[in-house]
Structure 1
Amino acid sequence: MSTMTNERSANAPPADGATFVAWVRPHLAAMARVAARLAVGADRDDIVQESLTRAWMKRDQYDASRGTASSWLLAITADQARKAARRLRPVAELDDHDAPVARQDVEARVDVDQALTTLSTRQRLAVDCYYFADLSITDTAAVMGCSEGTVKSTLSDARARLRSLLEVSE
């Protein structure tokens, strides 16, 4: 066996079920958090289960040189959560989904969950990955499919938006 084959097999997800379970186990909590944050109202356990099924079926496509196991699994989870969220939304809401919601009363402005809903889909994904799933900038970029600079810029824009929404006028 060549060195390249040894490296690939050492970094690839295990081919047998029991070892695969052990390989994904450390990432399950983060997968559940991402599923719950991205698909409010959907069953997060179903999303995680579907993500694990997809990861198992696509395990040969994992490439450790392109990102960590965590970022690969969370990217799959984010994709499955988006699909679940789309199934929950009535068609009429699709056009207005990413439009910012104006909040006039102070109570609504200090509600973080409410403020998060005003972020664009890309900003919410960045915030959820970085702050709620505790991913690094590098792993967040892998989940989002963009550069680290784009993640930093997206997080900066999201923080500015949240700051303006959550400020309490004196």
Structure 2
Amino acid sequence: MSIATGPAFAEWVRPHLGAMARLVARLAPAADRDDIVQEALTRAWLKRGQYDPSRGAPSSWLLAIAADQARKAARRSRPLLAVPDGAGEAGFPDERVDLQRALNRLTDRQRLAVDCVYFAGLTTVETAAVMGCAVGTVKSTLADARTKLRTLLEVAG
């Protein structure tokens, strides 16, 4: 499908909007997800002539743009509000706080790989395209991240 015209572009990106929104929400939780997705779509529209189907699927290309826009938004929106230790939304203990704290202790590269695969539902091939690296690098990065998370989330018995 040609992506040169407005309606064709809209049809071309529509199947990928959910994954773009999920990835943006993970990478820039304090920013407005819809605004960032719109910025990514604008950037994709402006760069549509650079899309090369031989280098990857449309989803990988669009998600790489969305990830870039989300990282920029996250930098602009810092500092993030800190969640009190061991407290959830209503002041009750919440496992999500521990998970988020553990995710925050991963390297940026590990966190991006985890966000892409486990939160945005991308394949390792798509994640490699988003990260700009080889599939093997994604797999080893995920393995390292899982090892570190396992250690950080271990509960003493």
What TM-score, normalized to structure 2?
0.87
> What per-residue deviation string (whole Å, max 9, x for no partner) do you get for residues 30-49 of structure 1?
00001110011000101000
Partner of 2:105: 118
User: Which residue, 117, 142, 147 being the options, matches 1:155?
Assistant: 142
CA RMSD, 1 decimal: 2.2
CA distance in 2, matches of 1:126, 1:147: 12
Partner of 1:7: none
Is 1:30 matched up with 2:23?
no
Q: Give the aligned residue type for 2:16.
A: H
Q: Judging changes above 3 Å, is the alpha-carbon distance between structure 1 residues 53 and 109 closer, same or farther for their aligned structure 2 residues?
A: closer
Is 1:82 matched up with 2:71?
yes
Larger Rg: 1
Structure 1 residue 108: Cα displacement: 7.0
- 1:110–1:167 Cα contact (<8 Å) kept: no
Please list every run of 5 or more consecutive structure 1 residues that lacks an aligned counterpart in the other structure.
1-9, 94-102
Structure 1 residue 18: Cα displacement: 1.2
Q: Judging changes above 3 Å, is the alpha-carbon distance between structure 1 residues 135 and 34 closer, same or farther for their aligned structure 2 residues?
A: same
Q: Judging changes above 3 Å, is the alpha-carbon distance between structure 1 residues 18 and 119 closer, same or farther for their aligned structure 2 residues?
A: same
Structure 1 residue 149: Cα displacement: 1.1
Please list every run of 5 or more consecutive structure 2 residues that lacks an aligned counterpart in the other structure.
86-92
Give the length in aligned residue pairs.
147
CA distance in 1, matches of 2:51, 2:6: 16
Is 1:16 matched up with 2:5?
yes
Partner of 1:68: 57
Structure 1 residue 28: Cα displacement: 0.4
Structure 1 residue 111: Cα displacement: 2.2
CA distance in 2, matches of 1:129, 1:71: 11
Partner of 1:3: none
CA distance in 2, matches of 1:134, 1:107: 24
Q: Give the aligned residue type for 1:126.
A: A
Structure 1 residue 89: Cα displacement: 1.9
What TM-score, normalized to structure 1?
0.80
User: Which residue, 32, 38, 49 being the options, matches 1:43?
Assistant: 32
- 1:127–1:155 Cα contact (<8 Å) kept: yes
